[in-house]
Amino acid sequence: MLLKKQLGEKVVATFLGVLDTVLEITTMLFALLILLGLASIVVLYVLDVTQSKQTIRKNYPVIGRLRYVLEHLGVFFRQYFFAMDREELPFNRAQRSWVARAAKNVDGTLAFGSTKPLNRPGDIFFLNGGFPPTAEEIAAHTPEPVIFGDGYAQHPYTAPSFFNISAMSYGALSGPAVSALSAGAHQSGIWLNTGEGGLSPFHQTAPCDLIFQIGTAKYGVRDQDGNLDPAKVTELAANTAVKMFEIKLSQGAKPGKGGILPGEKVTEVIASTRGIPVGQDSISPNRHPEVTDADSLLDLIAKVREASGKPTGIKFVVGQTQWLEDLFAAIHARGIASAPDFFTLDSADGGTGAAPQGLMDNMGLPVASSLPTIHRKLSEAGIRGRIKLIATGKMVNPAGVAGALCLGADVVCSARGFMFALGCIQALQCHQNTCPTGITTHNPKLQRGLDPTNKATRVANYADAIKREVGLIANSAGVMNPSDLALHHAFSVGADGAPLPLEKAV
């Protein structure tokens, strides 16, 4: 008993000794941390009071730095805590949440009532028909296909879907993101526009239909001087996945300015795909140097179409329209075959990875205004049947897509909708190579969280949901399929909050 008691006392004494040692070490570490903290504050104080670039930091050393921290965090706090579901820009929580549910194939039905205001001027609502078609009638109906270049291009293209992936370059987007888009497009049976950065290996992860965009820098089809190389167009067109060529004249987020890709994002693969030096800023001219008027534009279209044998169109955001009048006149003078096979109308509220705020905020017309205008002008010129209309720009939900179809679009494309499907959280860091979701960064550590296989399924789910719900809107309006939607199937909210027939609103 005595031995046990002595052993117990020794164990307790040992434990208490160890505890005292731990407490001493912890106290020392805590004191060291306090000293380091105080030293850091002193260093920051000296740095702040001796610098002259930032007034707040100089007048309020150390504490003034909180302003910049809070300013950065404010974006995320507003997004998740303070902004209401339908008030945030550029996309509100309700829009993003719908895409997220669709991409995850989660039930998108709601209860109790809509939170969308019904009297906000400019919003489009749809008019339900008295006798909507039944499921049996819809299943038995075969919609008219949308064919590009029919009778004018050597290899016309029949679009498999009215909803597709808009232009996003490899470079602006990461390799895993583009791979996911390629695989998802193949799963859903939609096309993927390459963007102006050329055709990368990631665009060809799966055998989806591709639209090759020719930007002002001619990436992927340029010679050593940056001019169009018809031989490279012919070589590219031999790829059966490339279905059409889109000549980009301007972009909604930055009309009048070329593409911008910071040098830190120009990796070896991007450089080889585009034909430019590694690590240098990739800045496109603000227009095609050889295109100075309507006739030279038609010359460029003809050169690409002849070299490729495939439908060729132009992408632009509508601003001044006199050049379009000149283009229509030139088409009539040359003959209807000289016309572009399609117009891609971008919106003034379109997106991009990097653009000057002065252009992004203030230049061009939104697609809700430009689309009906161009549709009407083409009809008046007698060439609407010759030129197909593709609408792009901020149409990420079924209502936006259906509204564009009512306004005259043959096809609608989205870029940021598919970015949300990939997992974009609207962190607004696309141009900084710090995208936290790995979508617009070339930092391998940030890319590793983006699984192309998983995200491809979400891309396909999102596209399928859009097609399904736009079809539901069309059927409720009394027509068999979305391509039948027209102006009389919708109304716009007028300035006084009252409904206005869409024919009068546009």
Instruction: Please report, for the chain, the start and end positions of each structural domain, with discontinuous segments joined by +.
Output: 2-59, 143-477
* pLDDT for 58: 79
Q: What is the pLDDT along the chain (506 residues), one digit of tens a residue?
A: 555 555 566 666 676 677 778 888 888 888 888 988 889 888 888 888 888 777 777 787 888 787 666 666 666 666 655 555 666 667 777 788 888 888 998 887 777 777 787 888 888 999 999 999 999 999 998 888 999 999 999 999 999 999 999 999 998 899 999 999 999 999 999 999 999 989 999 999 999 999 999 999 999 999 888 899 999 999 999 999 999 999 999 887 777 777 777 787 788 888 888 888 888 887 788 899 999 999 999 999 999 999 999 999 999 999 988 999 999 999 999 999 999 999 999 987 777 766 677 777 777 888 888 999 999 999 999 999 999 999 998 898 999 999 999 999 999 999 999 998 998 888 777 877 888 888 988 888 888 888 999 999 999 999 999 999 999 999 999 999 999 999 999 998 888 888 888 888 77
Name residues whose C-beta falls within 8 Å of residue 357's C-beta, 6 or more positions apart in sequence: none
By CB neighbour count within 10 A (0-12 exposed, 13-18 middle, 19+ buried), where does 364 fall? buried
**How far is residue 179 CA from its own chain's centroid?**
15
Q: Quick one: how many helices (H) and strands (E) in the chain?
A: 17, 15
Question: Hunting for tokens 């509100």 — which residue is that?
Answer: 92
Residue 17, pLDDT score:
72
Phi, psi of 345 (to 5 degrees): -95, 115
Burial readout 416-435 (b: 16 or more C-beta within 10 A, e: otherwise): bbbbbbbbbbbbebbbeeeb
Are the CB atoms for 408 and 389 separated by under 8 Å? yes
pLDDT at 8 (0 to 100): 61
Fold of 143-477: TIM Barrel (3.20.20)
CA angle at residue 37 from 32 to 42, to 5 degrees? 125
The reported pLDDT for the residue numbered 505 is 74
Cβ–Cβ under 8 Å, residues 233 and 308: yes
Packing angle of the helix pair 452-476, 175-188 (nearest 10 deg): 40
Write the CA distances from 233 to 199, 280, 422, integer angstroms. Answer: 11, 25, 31
CB 95 within 8 A of CB 444: no
Instruction: Give the pLDDT score at 42.
Output: 87
Tokens of 286: 């603000």
> How high is the pLDDT of residue 20?
76
DSSP for 42-106? HHHHHHHHH--S-HHHHHSTTTTHHHHHHHHHHHHHIIIIIS-TTT-SSS-HHHHHHHHHHHTT-
Cα separation values, 211 from 51, 208, 235, 482, 494, Å: 52, 10, 15, 22, 38
Identify any residues that bridge with 317 across adjacent strands, giving them in sequence order: 346
Amino acid type, 354: A
Phi first, then psi: what are they for 386, rounded to 5°?
A: -80, -35
Q: Which residues contact 237 (CB under 8 A, 6 or more apart)?
A: 245, 307, 308, 309, 310
The strand pairing partners of 493, in sequence order, are 499
Task: Find out whether 351 and 392 touch, Cβ atoms under 8 Å.
Answer: no
